[in-house]
Chains A and B, each alone.
Chain A
Amino acid sequence: MVATDKPAYRVVGTRPIRPDGTDKVTGRAAFGADIKLEGMLYGAILRSPHAHARVRRIDTSKAEALPGVFAVATNADFPRVESGSLNIGEGTANPVWLIDNLLAGEKVLYHGHAVAAVAAVDQHVAEDALQLIDVEYEVLPAVVDVREAMLDTAPILHDDLRTAVRAAGVPAAPDRPTNIALHMRLEKGDLEAGFADADVVIEREYETSMFHQGYIEPQNGSAWWDQDDNITIWTSVQGSFNTRDQLAAVLKVDPSRIKVVPMEIGGGFGGKNPIYLEPVAAILSRKSKRPVKMWMSRDAVFLATGPTSATYSRVKIGAKRDGTFTAASAYLAFEAGAYPGSPVGAGAQCAFAPYSIPNQTVDGFDVVVNGPKTAAYRAPGAPAAAYAVEATINELAEMLQMDPMDVRLKNASREGTTNAVGAPWPTIGAEAVMQAVKNHPHYTSELQGEDVGRGVALGFWFNGGMESSGTASVQADGRVSLILGTVDIGGSRASMAMQLAEVLGLTMDDVNPHVVDSDSVGYNATTGGSRVTFQGGWVMHDLGMAIRQQMQARAAAMWDVSPDDVEYHDGYIAGPNEVSGTPRRLSFKEMAAKLPATGGLITVSATSRRNTQGPAFAGHIVDLKVDRETGKVQILRYTAVQDVGTAIHPSYVEGQIQGGAVQGIGMALSEEYVYDDQGHLRNASFLDYRMPVANDLPMIDVQMVEVPNPGHPFGVRGVGEVPIVPPQAAIRNALKDAIGVNFYRTPVSPRVILDELLPKD
């Protein structure tokens, strides 16, 4: 642990069993697809076999006539909406495009694009009905590669799309159709002068594949549009409230008429911010006058829900002989999928974040292609950008004959140095993380054997604030009911209950957390951006302090003393001694028992919009071995070092870091979308989209560095996202060490390795 001034917490930093644990190990926890409603129908969706086509005609009459079918829906069943910008959790979307993505309008834009939907008495009848829907397509040429899509000769997806230019000094784009939705630029210093000042300049180019979030629970959504035109939605999404607001926009219904009931969610990683089925289920329910349940097949999840962008990038870095960076530039082209909105902006800000570089320019391009609309995926945009930068830094270190960590330490961002947009960093742990990597027994150990190699890389993520709300009620038995609106995707009931318990001087078990529907608690932004424990912690602080204040006031009234003379400490309320000298002191539980008779039980609510960030850095060390016969890479040892601010529940912090690292290992070595030249996805299954399994991996060692975030009552920084940032480059750098080959594209699958190692004819 780097920080030594951490307060002595009683609950924070311990490892209690999570409140929702028993339900989840006994099968009682109800996930989205577990809902069963009286009279419920089953919905299913017909998807496009083409990557790009005009929809000439849809004839649903035969499907409607099939016994057991209650409703059929197409794009025509949606209201016409205005173009605009709608918050969808971790990003924005145009409601017109949202609707066209839910059920295609004039064109289908990717293989698997939803075209029509049915609701029937059971899943089998619904699937039969889909085969009776007749769609006439006019197939158009497709483009699935970002650089090809940027060419003037490329097939155009949207005739009305023009390039938005957000780059100083770049002329406005010509008024003609394009696939480039955005050209943005971040600039600071004098790039030319910086490069002129360098002793060494290196420039490299890279590509990354599309990767899917790979949550094990497919998207689902069930809806009941009742006779009073109120809509209830049961679903497992990351944000109940942004789901409600998206529904309101695409259905043209007031948000207050929509109640979203968050079911347990089986993973999201950013991919369950956008909505796919809920509005369709709602329309089918309106038409059939029955509740409708829908869930996606796994191939539909791969075909039609948000992967992350495939990318092309170029990175150029100039340095002095001693390793000091003088200038850096990056060109990032990110696929957005069928509609604009890749995370290139975040990627641009993250690319060089670990380093203080005075002269810097990053150009970013958001490009539509004939693929599923990309969605947020764990530190959206950062892994691809960091991969390119961290790989380049390693080659630069080799040119300078320096230790790769020494080069990084030489240029580490520190409090007061400026980030990509020229703003000074607050207290950050970049240097502490780099130092911890360099001193780690893994890094200093000797690596032996044939075809083995070691690599390191850094990563950065912002960790956002956004908005959270909650309500707490003190019960007469001394426990506290805690009402939350942030979906618990991996232990936040525990992290919330622990923070509130810490404020009140109670144990976690004294706090009883519940995640409730969107009508039953104040507004909560999405579970994403590594923000929930951070912003929720502020809410817990505010709730706890309000409860303390009210308990103190009650005690003061009871004792007939001034509230100023009553203190709250470690779960006890204490006042001045009685005249007899007897101390006035009540435990929380004793005071709670007196509440009903002294004015009633206490209920408090709080909303927090602390718009601060908890910037976090990670450094990963990997040892691996290459099998020259099969091209398979075995991870021998993996260490993830990360500045976590303060770990509220260290087991779940470690779990986030291990899980993020392993997703990054999948990106580095085995996961990728494989499209043919017609834009058909060839590997839409878990068998062929190869995510890491248990025997691919060793234990993932975690070293938490704790540099408390000064902008949080417990020093929390987000932890979930940054661990996915370093692995692609760390592994790529280790492969260079192992077999002497620099790879410039991920994943480095066995086939790619064999292409390098096998003798060329």
Chain B
Amino acid sequence: MTMTNTFVLHAIINGEEREFLADQRDSLLEALRERAGIRGPKEGCNNGNCGACSVLLDGRLVNSCLVMAAEVEGAEITTVEGIATPEGLDPIQQAFLEEAALQCGICTPGFIVATRALLEENPHPTEEEARFWLAGNLCRCTGYDKIIRAVLKAADQKGS
């Protein structure tokens, strides 16, 4: 077994300084899931079309499958695991629960991270703005209706 392709990656993940071995060929998604044990980001397509692997990279919403792990040295990364606080769920998470905005739940981590990014940029989106922002996140179960309702509800509650 050869380990010649590995390197030590340093990153702040969900507020915690982490260092771990990754492979030069790892995407950020692979490094998070298979090396760092952070499995909230999901692999749905591995080519940037489904959004299930959405994370915030230095505050910017990215598909972690399209970022190489080697590119994120020293970066700050927020995954779905970093959305709730020790005090409790974020209003986005609470709204997803109350509105029944998930069925199987595989796309939910990506939607919650993408919604966090949306509300930071646009705290009071219209329905149309929410639909366009979330067009990069696929959900096959819900038909999006209840997700959009949850996003608008979370915006209302965060704003008040």
- Chain A residues at the B interface, C-beta cutoff of 8 Å: 15, 17-18, 20-22, 24-31, 33-34, 36, 67-68, 121-124, 213-218, 264-269, 295, 297-298, 489-491, 649, 651-652, 654-656, 658-663, 685-687, 691-695, 697, 699-700
Would you call B8 an interface residue if the criterion is a C-beta within 8 Å of the partner chain's C-beta atoms? no
Interchain CA distance A344-B16 in the complex, whole Å: 55
Residues of A within 8 A of B107 (CB): 216, 266
Contact among B46, B99, B136, B148 for A297, CB-based, below 8 A: B46
Q: Decide if A27 touches B80 in the complex (CB within 8 Å).
A: yes
Interchain CA distance A28-B108 in the complex, whole Å: 11
Residues of B within 8 A of A216 (CB): 42, 44, 50, 52, 104, 106-107, 138-140
Would you call B75 an interface residue if the criterion is a C-beta within 8 Å of the partner chain's C-beta atoms? no
- A655 with B131: in contact, given A217-B106, A685-B47 (CB under 8 Å)? no
Contact among B99, B112, B135 for A695, CB-based, below 8 A: B135
Interchain CA distance A265-B104 in the complex, whole Å: 6
Would you call B121 an interface residue if the criterion is a C-beta within 8 Å of the partner chain's C-beta atoms? no
- A124 with B25: in contact, given A214-B140, A217-B44, A700-B145 (CB under 8 Å)? yes
Identify the closest chain B residue to A21 (Cβ).
Answer: B97
- A27 with B135: in contact, given A217-B106, A218-B43, A655-B100 (CB under 8 Å)? no
Known pairs A31-B106, A216-B138, A658-B145 / 16 extra A-B pairs, C-beta < 8 Å: A24-B105, A25-B97, A25-B112, A27-B41, A33-B43, A124-B25, A216-B106, A217-B44, A266-B42, A659-B140, A662-B142, A686-B50, A692-B143, A694-B134, A694-B135, A697-B143
**Sample of 29 A–B contacts (CB below 8 Å):** A15-B100, A21-B102, A24-B108, A26-B84, A27-B41, A28-B81, A30-B39, A68-B1, A216-B44, A216-B104, A216-B106, A218-B44, A264-B106, A267-B106, A298-B44, A298-B47, A491-B103, A654-B145, A655-B141, A658-B142, A658-B146, A660-B143, A662-B143, A685-B47, A685-B49, A686-B50, A694-B147, A695-B131, A697-B143
Interchain CA distance A78-B107 in the complex, whole Å: 35
Identify the closest chain A residue to B151 (Cβ).
Answer: A694
Contact among A27, A30, A659 for B79, CB-based, below 8 A: A27
Residues of B within 8 A of A122 (CB): 23, 34
Q: Decide if A658 touches B143 in the complex (CB within 8 Å).
A: yes
Residues of chain B in range 13-69 having any CB-CB distance to chain A below 8 Å: 23, 25-26, 30, 33-34, 37, 39-47, 49-50, 52
Identify the closest chain B residue to A121 (Cβ).
Answer: B1
Mark interface residues in B70-91 (1 if CB within 8 Å of A CB, else 0): 0000000001110110000100
Q: Decide if A687 touches B108 in the complex (CB within 8 Å).
A: no
Contact among A18, A268, A298, A490 for B45, CB-based, below 8 A: A298
Residues of B within 8 A of A692 (CB): 143-144
Interchain CA distance A217-B39 in the complex, whole Å: 13
Q: How far is the CB of A150 from chain B (nearest CB, A)?
A: 32
Residues of A within 8 A of B147 (CB): 694
Interchain CA distance A67-B105 in the complex, whole Å: 38
Q: Decide if A217 touches B134 in the complex (CB within 8 Å).
A: no
- Chain B residues at the A interface, C-beta cutoff of 8 Å: 1-2, 5, 23, 25-26, 30, 33-34, 37, 39-47, 49-50, 52, 79-81, 83-84, 89, 93, 96-100, 102-109, 112, 128, 130-132, 134-149
- A687 with B109: in contact, given A694-B148, A695-B132 (CB under 8 Å)? no
Interchain CA distance A213-B106 in the complex, whole Å: 15
Interchain CA distance A661-B40 in the complex, whole Å: 28
Interchain CA distance A654-B130 in the complex, whole Å: 21
Interchain CA distance A309-B131 in the complex, whole Å: 31
Contact among B5, B141, B148 for A659, CB-based, below 8 A: B141
Q: A122, A656, A691: which has the most chain B beta carbons within 10 Å?
A: A122
Identify the closest chain B residue to A36 (Cβ).
Answer: B37
Residues of A within 8 A of B144 (CB): 662, 692-694, 697
- A686 with B49: in contact, given A68-B2, A491-B103, A697-B144 (CB under 8 Å)? yes
Q: Decide if B30 touches A123 in the complex (CB within 8 Å).
A: yes
Residues of B within 8 A of A27 (CB): 39-41, 79-81, 109
Q: Decide if A490 touches B141 in the complex (CB within 8 Å).
A: yes
Interchain CA distance A33-B109 in the complex, whole Å: 15
Residues of B within 8 A of A297 (CB): 46
- A25 with B93: in contact, given A216-B52, A694-B134 (CB under 8 Å)? yes
Residues of B within 8 A of A695 (CB): 128, 131-132, 134-135
Contact among B33, B42, B138, B143 for A661, CB-based, below 8 A: B143
Residues of B within 8 A of A654 (CB): 100, 145-146
Interchain CA distance A353-B134 in the complex, whole Å: 38
Q: Decide if A699 touches B106 in the complex (CB within 8 Å).
A: no
Q: B47, B106, B128: which has the most chain A beta carbons within 10 Å?
A: B106
Interchain CA distance A221-B49 in the complex, whole Å: 23
Interchain CA distance A38-B98 in the complex, whole Å: 38
Contact among A18, A269, A489, A685 for B100, CB-based, below 8 A: A18
Interchain CA distance A337-B127 in the complex, whole Å: 41
Q: Decide if A34 touches B2 in the complex (CB within 8 Å).
A: no
Interchain CA distance A663-B141 in the complex, whole Å: 8
Q: Decide if B44 touches A25 in the complex (CB within 8 Å).
A: no
Identify the closest chain A residue to B49 (Cβ).
Answer: A686
Residues of A within 8 A of B2 (CB): 67-68
Q: How far is the CB of A664 from chain B (nearest CB, A)?
A: 10
Interchain CA distance A91-B45 in the complex, whole Å: 28
Interchain CA distance A686-B107 in the complex, whole Å: 14
Identify the closest chain B residue to A695 (Cβ).
Answer: B131
Residues of B within 8 A of A266 (CB): 42, 44, 104-107
Residues of B within 8 A of A661 (CB): 143
Q: Decide if B104 touches A215 in the complex (CB within 8 Å).
A: yes
